[in-house]
DNA sequence: CATCATATGTAGCCATGGCTACATGTCAAC
DNA sequence: GTTGACATGTAGCCATGGCTACATATGATG
């Protein structure tokens, strides 16, 4: 995935979108892991899998990739722990997530739908867009 | 991909996001194909590939999948044609795309960034969210 | 301590989306 | 009509993310 020196030298808008796909998953995972940590005090693979709506196998394997990216640490039959880097990513993902949800709600999207849509949208918002969203929610929500 | 009767019976928010991924690509493709049709009068594989920032091989293979989904028709060394169904999808994708761009611009995101972000965002907007966006842009943009 | 449910881990399959390298078709210009 | 540039097509590789089926570990309960 990091091997992106594509034949077509042009680095257009689509590239970015595609390249990001596995980062999105990483973010979803660390965010969920952090959530489970605060809910349960620890993150077990099975719970994580259920939370993300995938099989425990998929969760396991993806977590392994997160380990190799230095985002989490694991040892056999033990709960999953976030590294500092993982925690940081989880925090920013969560923050972004909240900005998007609040924003959608503030433009009139029903909360439940806002929550669902934000799942997909959050990963594609540039800092500028997030800033605009935040600004908008703030000047409106009180 | 349609084989989604996952072990975990719960059909949570993440499911949707993941399942949609190949539809996103289909939409990007038909939209680009329609664009090239109006720009060039026909859609050749190479142009399409360049437009989407992928190799002609990838474009070719993805187009083959679109054929099997009934969205486009091809014959060897001939331009790619959209079916009615493909045209319809392209139209709605384009409409959605424009709503998102206009909206982002209207909340203050610079045009260029709005264009880039919309690429990723558009696929994740429910009808409700699009409606809210449209409404917002309309009541503001004049 | 044996047993059984549940959690975790492993093997191996599938589809998608990306690529390079090579083969072949098309077409214009000589 | 050859030739050569460019478009198109094919073969085969890689990584990711999904799954089922099976194997093993853990821990509670009899």
Nucleic strand C near CB of residue A5 (< 7 Å): yes
Tell me the count of A-B CB pairs closer than 8 A: 122
Q: How open is the CA angle B13-A14-B92, to the nearest 5 degrees?
A: 65
d(CA B24, CA B20): 6
d(CA B42, CA A98): 44
Covered bases, chain C (protein CB within 7 Å): 6-12, 15-21, 25-26
d(CA A79, CA A44): 5
Give just the sign of the alpha carbon dihedral B36, B115, B89, A9.
Answer: positive
d(CA A127, CA B98): 21
CA-to-C1' span, A21 to D6 (A):
33
Contact call for residues B36 and B43 (beta carbons, < 8 A) = yes
Closest listed residue to residue A62, CA positions, set A20, A91, A37, A26: A26
pLDDT in tens, chain B (142 residues): 332 333 333 346 666 555 578 889 999 999 999 999 999 999 999 999 999 999 999 999 999 999 999 999 999 999 999 999 999 999 999 999 999 999 999 999 999 999 999 999 999 999 999 999 999 998 876 5
Residues A22-78 have pLDDT tens digits of 889 999 999 999 999 999 999 999 999 999 999 999 999 999 999 999 999 999 999
Domain boundaries, chain B: 14-86, 91-140
Same fold, B14-86 and B91-140: no
Quick one: B15 exposed, middle or buried, by C-beta within 10 A (0-12, 13-18, 19+)? middle
- What's the pLDDT at A30? 96
Contact: B133, A10; criterion CB under 8 Å: no
Average pLDDT, chain A: 87
Closest listed residue to residue B84, CA positions, set B96, B75, B92: B92
- What's the pLDDT at B35? 95
CATH architecture of B91-140: Orthogonal Bundle (1.10)
How far, rounded to the nearest angstrom, does the alpha carbon of residue B43 sit from its chain's CA centroid? 16
Which site among B52, B53, B126, B137 would you substitute to test the A interface, given the most A Cβ atoms closer than 10 Å to its Cβ? Answer: B53
- What's the pLDDT at B90? 96
d(CA B42, CA A123): 34
* Three-state DSSP state, B80: coil
CATH code of the region B14-86: 1.10.10.10
Q: Which residue has the tokens 């998102």?
A: B100
How far, rounded to the nearest angstrom, does the alpha carbon of residue B134 sit from its chain's CA centroid? 18
- What's the pLDDT at A14? 65
Q: For residue A2, is pLDDT > 50?
A: no
Which residue minimizes Cα–C1' distance to C25?
Answer: B77
- What's the pLDDT at B141? 60
Distance between A19 CA and the closest CA of chain B, angstroms? 11
Which residue minimizes Cα–C1' distance to C18?
Answer: B58
Query: A19 versus A64: which is more confidently predicted?
Result: A64
Q: Which fold has domain A92-140?
A: Diphtheria Toxin Repressor; domain 2 (1.10.60)
Closest listed residue to residue A66, CA positions, set A51, A87, A50, A42: A87
Which protein residues have Cβ within 7 A of any strand D atom?
A 1, 3, 21-22, 25, 53-55, 57-58, 61-62, 65, 76-77; B 5-8, 18, 44-47, 56-57, 60-61, 74, 76-79
CA-to-C1' span, A77 to C3 (A):
21
- What's the pLDDT at A11? 45
Closest listed residue to residue A124, CA positions, set B60, B7, B97: B97
Runs of H (alpha helix) within chain B: 13-19, 21-40, 45-52, 56-68, 84-106, 111-121, 127-140
Which residue minimizes Cα–C1' distance to C26?
Answer: B77
Which site among A35, A100, A124, A130 would you substitute to test the B interface, given the most B Cβ atoms closer than 10 Å to its Cβ? Answer: A124
């Amino acid at each position: 995935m990091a091997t992106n020196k594509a034949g077509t030298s042009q680095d257009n808008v689509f590239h970015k979108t595609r390249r990001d796909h596995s980062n999105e998953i990483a973010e979803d995972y660390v965010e969920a892991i952090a959530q489970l940590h605060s809910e349960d005090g620890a993150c077990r693979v099975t719970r994580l899998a259920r939370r993300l709506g995938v099989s425990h196998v998929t969760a396991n394997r993806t977590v392994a990739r997160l380990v190799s990216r230095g985002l989490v640490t694991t040892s056999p039959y033990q709960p999953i722990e976030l590294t500092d880097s993982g925690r940081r990513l989880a925090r920013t993902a969560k923050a972004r997530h909240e900005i998007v949800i609040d924003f959608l709600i503030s433009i009139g999207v029903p909360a439940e739908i806002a929550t669902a849509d934000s799942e997909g949208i959050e990963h594609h918002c540039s800092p500028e867009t997030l800033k605009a969203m935040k600004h908008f929610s703030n000047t409106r929500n009180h």
